[in-house]
């Protein structure tokens, strides 16, 4: 069993107290039954998360909206499982949604997983969103260093020359300097004409 699925099912099994409903959702291969959980009233969060995850990794786009909501949840394990499923869903709206979440200053405390998802997707929206998010994190005493560090590392992974300026600015921040040096080293040097 995939590590991310195992982690999710163990957590959800505990939340559901091993209920019959949990066992049914964990075992079913019926995508319509899983999709129904996403829209039926009164479903517990664990059930919606399990159904959305299973549909997402199967490539069923009916899971998209639920997974995006979970990507922006206050509970990091829910964000992580949603990011994993969204990366496998194959929905063209995913990068735009992740970029919107990563750059939303009102929800920056929950931007870590959208940032990491953007790096994994390598979409056209990825570099501009990471640059914007990192620029905002470079203000003095910004409390979201983990988000800033994820942006620095992600921009290094993506290796796009557009990130050179903001990564150079990150060198002045002790918590980011070492990662910024490594990220800058991964960006190809511009040729002199």
Structure tokens at 160: 């796009």
Could you read off the pLDDT tens digit of each residue along the chain, which spans 193 residues?
Answer: 578 888 888 999 999 998 999 999 999 999 999 999 999 999 999 999 999 999 999 999 999 999 999 999 999 999 999 999 999 999 999 999 999 999 999 999 999 999 999 999 999 999 999 999 999 999 989 999 999 999 999 999 999 999 999 999 999 999 999 999 999 999 988 665 5
What is the C-alpha to C-alpha distance for residues 8 and 3, in angstroms, rounded to an integer?
9
Per the CB < 8 A criterion, the answer to whether 89 and 67 are in contact is: yes
- By CB atoms closer than 10 A (0-12, 13-18, 19+), residue 135 is middle
Q: Among candidates 81, 140, 71, 84, which has minimal Cα distance to 112?
A: 71
Give the pLDDT score at 191: 60
Q: Report how far Cα 81 is from the mean position of its chain's Cα atoms.
A: 9
Give the pLDDT score at 70: 97
Predicted TM-score (pTM) of the model is 0.92
What is the C-alpha to C-alpha distance for residues 176 and 57, in angstroms, rounded to an integer?
33
What is the C-alpha to C-alpha distance for residues 24 and 99, in angstroms, rounded to an integer?
35
Q: Which residue do the tokens 């998802």 mark?
A: 117
- By CB atoms closer than 10 A (0-12, 13-18, 19+), residue 34 is buried
């Amino acid at each position: 069993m995939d590590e991310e699925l195992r982690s999710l099912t163990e957590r959800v099994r505990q939340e559901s107290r091993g209920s019959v409903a949990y066992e049914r959702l964990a075992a079913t291969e019926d995508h319509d039954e899983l999709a129904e959980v996403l829209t039926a009233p009164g479903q517990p969060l664990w059930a919606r998360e399990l159904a959305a995850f299973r549909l997402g990794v199967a490539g069923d786009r009916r899971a998209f909206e639920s997974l995006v909501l979970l990507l922006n949840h206050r509970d990091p394990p829910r964000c992580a499982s949603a990011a994993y499923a969204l990366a496998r869903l194959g929905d063209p709206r995913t990068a735009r949604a992740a970029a919107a979440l990563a750059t939303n200053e009102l929800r920056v405390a929950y931007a870590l997983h959208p940032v990491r998802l953007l790096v994994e997707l390598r979409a056209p929206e990825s570099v501009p969103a990471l640059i914007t998010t990192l620029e905002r994190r470079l203000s003095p005493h910004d409390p979201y260093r983990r988000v800033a560090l994820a942006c620095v590392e992600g921009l290094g992974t993506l290796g796009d020359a557009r990130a050179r300026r903001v990564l150079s600015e990150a060198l002045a921040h002790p918590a980011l300097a070492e990662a910024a040096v490594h990220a800058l080293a991964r960006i190809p040097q511009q040729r002199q004409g």
